[in-house]
Structure 1
Amino acid sequence: MSAVESIVALVKADPIDINALAEALNAASHQERVDASRHFTPAIQRRLYDAAEGRPVTLEDMVPTKEGLKEVIHWGTNTLPAFRQFQKRFCRPSEAHAREGHAWGYNHNWYWWATAPGYYVSHQDPESGQFIVSYLELPPEKVESWPPIWSNNAGLGFLVWRGMVDKLWKVSDHVTIGRAYKGKPMPAWFTLVRED
């Protein structure tokens, strides 16, 4: 059985053995982790989010580099009926805009020009340990190569990003599982795989 097949078998198990899954993901290559995550159906992601509950995510998990405005890419798979593959791109702020424990970022996909890039400010929630990605606030700066910072209320972004917050739990050293909230939990989950 390949690494991808082993990972997919572990997430299909009921219940999910989150520790065994973390070990398998940690032992896999980046491409194997991404390939496996592409097989995570909406039902699997929903169960995985519940299985990972209580596993905190730190800023270092999301953006290991200490260098400001250095891009870190997370490959994403969501539970939408279409446009399931995307990236979340993070960076730490520059010294001029440093905020302890915070990172900036946006959602990278081919249709960002219609929905706005979905810029956000992110940090670990000190109470729950979850990593919070908030579209309620825009970063004051970005990586030079990123698209312009647009309001999340602009264009179709009003329908997608307005009032939204993502909450992430840790699955493994490189993999997190998130759920979208707009005041209350939404039926929308996503898996992220950090690229080193």
Structure 2
Amino acid sequence: MPELIDLLRQNAPVARVAEYLDGLTHDERLRALSTTTRADQRALYNAASAAPALTLDFFVPSGTPRRVAVHHKGRNSLPLPSPLRFFEKRFALPEDGSARLFGYNEGLTRSWIGPGFFVAVPTAGNLAWQERGAVVIDYFQVPDGPVPDGWPRVVPNSKGLQSVVYDGTRDFMRRVSKDVSIGAAFKGEKALDHYFTLCREPGGA
């Protein structure tokens, strides 16, 4: 059986990649995603343009109570020591019932960079954004209502060292498989050529 990186380097269609990932256990999926380079993640993001469009309930499945976090394990392509490339994006439905998600980044760097709060929204209606992905994780916005118990205090992304990483940034998300998505980072409207994979945790969190 081919490995994930073999499929990506053979330019396999995203449906074949999804079939492979869906056939793995959760831990096997995480291990497979951990082998990807930036070039592999770029190829995956490009291939995922042909996948079905994401909706918000991909990140927080239908029926999840409001203010209950759903965790997605992430790995990015930044030029960092390997342990610092791993992180989580945590998502939750806001109390107000609006069509958006609140979230932040959890990982080894949070204590010194900051939580990187965001609001995730559909890109429908913005033609340029729609081409990049059906959901955008928007760091121009931070939660303006209650967040799940246990989350850090909400702070703007312009505060502290996190301004270097998160301020003025948006991540555009595409579906890969049942549990896996791929994001591309933009600073304003400029593509940064940096990517990350997310894998939803079983049972939501």
1:186 aligns with 2:183: no
Counterparts of 1:109 and 1:143 in 2: how far apart (Å)? 17
* Structure 2 runs not aligned, ≥5 long: none
SS at match of 1:52: helix
SS at match of 2:44: helix
1:54 is displaced (CA, Å) by 4.3
* Structure 1 runs not aligned, ≥5 long: none
**What is the RMSD computed on CA atoms of the aligned residues?**
1.4
Contact persistence 2:89–2:106 (CA under 8 A): yes
1:177 aligns with: 182
Alignment length, in residue pairs? 189
Q: Residues 125 and 54 from structure 1, CA distance in 2 versus in 1: closer, same or farther, beyond 3 angstroms? A: farther
Counterparts of 2:57 and 2:42 in 1: how far apart (Å)? 25
Counterparts of 2:27 and 2:62 in 1: how far apart (Å)? 21
1:106 aligns with: 104
Contact persistence 1:116–1:151 (CA under 8 A): no
So what's the TM-score if we normalise by structure 2? 0.87
Listed as ranges, the matches of 1:40-55 within 5 Å are 40-55=36-51
Counterparts of 1:88 and 1:160 in 2: how far apart (Å)? 15
1:59 aligns with: 56
Runs of 4+ in 1 over 3 A off after TM superposition: none
1:144 aligns with: 149
Letter in 2 for 1:49: Y
Which stretch shows the higher mean deviation, 126-135 or 143-152? 126-135
Contact persistence 1:54–1:169 (CA under 8 A): no
Letter in 2 for 1:42: R
Counterparts of 2:163 and 2:169 in 1: how far apart (Å)? 10
1:132 aligns with 2:136: yes
SS at match of 2:150: coil
SS at match of 2:75: strand
